[in-house]
Chain A
Amino acid sequence: MGRDFTIKLEPLGEKLRVKENTPLKDILFKYGIEFPCGGKGICGGCKIKMLDGDIPLNREHQQALNKLGLSPDIRLACRSIVTSDLTLEIDQFETFILADSSSFRFTPAEGFGIAIDLGTTTLVAQLLDLSTGHVLDAVTRLNPQAEFGADVISRIEYAIRNAGLSVLQNLIRESIAAMVNKLIFRHKVAVTKVVIVGNTVMQHIFSGLDLTPLSAYPFESKKKAFYSFSPEELKFHTEINAEVLFLPSLGSFVGSDILAGILATRLHQSKKYIALIDLGTNGEIVVGNKDKILCASTAAGPAFEGTNIRMGMRASTGAISSIRDNGDGIKFHVIGNEVPKGICGSGLIDAIAVFIKKDIIDVGGKIKDNTDHIELKPPVIISQRDIRELQLAKGAIAAGLQILLDQLEITHDQVESVYIAGAFGNFINIENTRRIGLIEFQEDKIHKMGNTALIGAKMSLFLDEEDIEPILAITDHVSLEMIPDFQDLFADKMMFE
């Protein structure tokens, strides 16, 4: 499968080894690079500068560059394939917050700010120049709490059963401090504002709040409260002279990462209805406009992240991430151009969509010839149980959305735009999410938006609590477990029709 090459990423200072002919898209998204137009090569949002080495151009790539009027040392990451050693500067960090062309009016401020997305799995911190809105630098890390379980419920359990709240709190605070201090150390600038967003459980742990109310019915969280901390108590570098603000949760399991998503999609300013769907374990969904916003967590489970799937894995090297059937045989894309080891969420969605179309899986989700699995690219398979697992996840999300729409008394057609958030969104094939009935909106309305939590956190660096409070005032959390219709809707939405 060809040679290995070394890629250096600036300004991250990361060095990685990759196989020949690996698409850059496969490896860069892990480093927080976003592909605003979903890798179509039209927006230029993923442009990179070649400091050393060369990425060969094909006609299509050349045309895209010409159209965008970019200089010869620039490439679009979404169109690039590795054929030599490279040193790349990730241009995205030099561009404005929203890598797409839409405008976010902000009042330039003095100094520098840090936006932090405190995820259950990954932590990202970006340093911004508040006078220009440009991102100067970024650091990412894995959440060190992962050792105590992958999902939020296992963290809650650890915190409660083992009196482990302070252990988890210390771990996360140390990591965040290390990331912040690294940014300050590299840039030696005066930081005036730090904003953190994260799901409700991460917020509770970081803030040292008791998790017991989140462990059982009625799942109450300290909703809509801002928590602020002094840089000293968080052991931040002395050059930070600002309050550190953890944005408020919206209710129950819907956290400030989703509030940030509302900011990022500007749902709260829109006259028309907008929907936001986070395809993670909690499966948070939001529908609303400038007058009223409803949110819920659908508890989809980890199927989209490849967990509980026989050969499932995260979207990393060796995962089948997309499957296409163009009539002349099924084509598989394996991340990193390697021998496949497993399948990630986007691959699973594709596989099921392709096999429904080929009439190998029926509308109820049964494999038609009564076998218990379907072979993909050897040795990878999907099993009958994997299909069932996906049906639960997609059924929960689609049912939750239907309930929010019903409560707003609107239909799918009345929603103007739908944004998909979540790490694996980059690989997802929108047509196939429709085919399997995961997202039941018109295709041209659906947009992948990448890390909406981080985008929103960056935007909130320019906002005050008073700017955010009106959003909280029009936002209601819907507890899906209290909806009697859920079961029937859920069953209905599990079908592939």
Chain B
Amino acid sequence: MSDILEKLTVCVERGKANKVSPYPPDLKGQDGADELTAEAIKKGISPDDILQKALVVGMSNIGQKFSEGKAFVPEMLMSAKAMKAAMVHLKPFFTSGEVKQKGTVVLGTIQGDLHDIGKNLVAMMVEGAGWKVIDLGVDVGFDKIEQILKDNPGTIVGLSALLTTTMVNMKTVVEKVKAMNPDNIVMIGGAPVTQDYCDEIGADFYSSDPQGAIDYLNGIAS
């Protein structure tokens, strides 16, 4: 039984989405995250175990490698695809409440900026760490976030910026979020962002890579 979960962990870590996927070459023809998740559910393994003991572990492994420079964007995106393939099977259990997510994070690339690859990686890592993610996409100002915070107070806000010219828009969003609720957490990231800038605009957390954000979020959850 745990054999399936181990295999699934490997598929997520190595980015094997399904049986027909040719990537990675050495796993060609074998079952991927898609088939293994379906099988696990059929065998009666609890969806919560599938999430916590396979997906979260696999994502954490690849995240660790990414932090160390031993994996890069292409590998991360393949892992994301594998995780997504598994998540499709788990979604019904999220809505039914059978699987508990740790909380909700709303993510977006800041207003004026359309670079979204970094934000997408953070989104998949956060989701893969057991959080519910609302991805608002790119060119996100406070107006788009406001409704979400009204509907789900306390939702953690994550902002990404890749341009020094639009990074300043983060300041406005942080101010407005804090005006609504001073305790609402805002985390920021993206290549030009620094810890100093985070302190300067009064955001709660900065990390140069997604793994840092996961550790921070997990700290909040526990």
Interface positions of A (Cβ within 8 A of B): 153-154, 156-157, 160, 215-217, 364-366, 370, 372, 384-385, 388, 391-392, 395, 481-482, 487-488, 490-492, 494-495
Give Cα A154–Cα B167 distance, bound, in whole angstroms: 13
Residues of B close to A153: CB separation below 8 A: 163-165
Residue B113 at the chain A interface, CB threshold 8 Å: yes
Tell me the residues in window 21-78 of chain B with beta carbons closer than 8 Å to chain A beta carbons: 69-75, 77
Residue B103 at the chain A interface, CB threshold 8 Å: no
| 28 A-B contacts (beta carbon < 8 Å) | A154-B164, A157-B164, A215-B165, A215-B166, A216-B111, A217-B112, A217-B113, A217-B114, A217-B166, A364-B71, A364-B72, A364-B74, A366-B70, A366-B71, A388-B72, A391-B73, A395-B73, A482-B114, A487-B77, A487-B116, A487-B117, A487-B120, A488-B77, A491-B77, A492-B74, A494-B72, A494-B73, A494-B74
Contact status A481-B77, CB under 8 Å: no
Residue B175 at the chain A interface, CB threshold 8 Å: no
Given contacts A217-B114, A217-B139, A488-B77, contact A388 B165 (CB under 8 A): no
Contact of A215 (CB < 8 Å), options: B69, B74, B112? B112
Residues of B close to A384: CB separation below 8 A: 69-70
The B interface, classified by DSSP as helix, strand, loop or mixed, is: loop
Residue B19 at the chain A interface, CB threshold 8 Å: no
Contact status A481-B114, CB under 8 Å: yes
Residues of B close to A495: CB separation below 8 A: 74
How many chain B residues touch A (Cβ–Cβ < 8 Å)?
22
Give Cα A365–Cα B70 distance, bound, in whole angstroms: 8
Give Cα A307–Cα B139 distance, bound, in whole angstroms: 28
Chain B: minimal CB distance from A154 (Å): 7
Give Cα A495–Cα B115 distance, bound, in whole angstroms: 20
Chain A: minimal CB distance from B74 (Å): 4
Chain B: minimal CB distance from A93 (Å): 39
Instruction: Output the residue of B70, B111, B120 with the most chain A CB within 10 A.
Output: B70
Give Cα A372–Cα B70 distance, bound, in whole angstroms: 9
Chain B: minimal CB distance from A212 (Å): 9
Residues of A close to B69: CB separation below 8 A: 366, 372, 384-385, 388
Give Cα A364–Cα B69 distance, bound, in whole angstroms: 11
Residues of B close to A491: CB separation below 8 A: 73-74, 77
Contact status B166-A216, CB under 8 Å: yes
Residues of A close to B139: CB separation below 8 A: 217
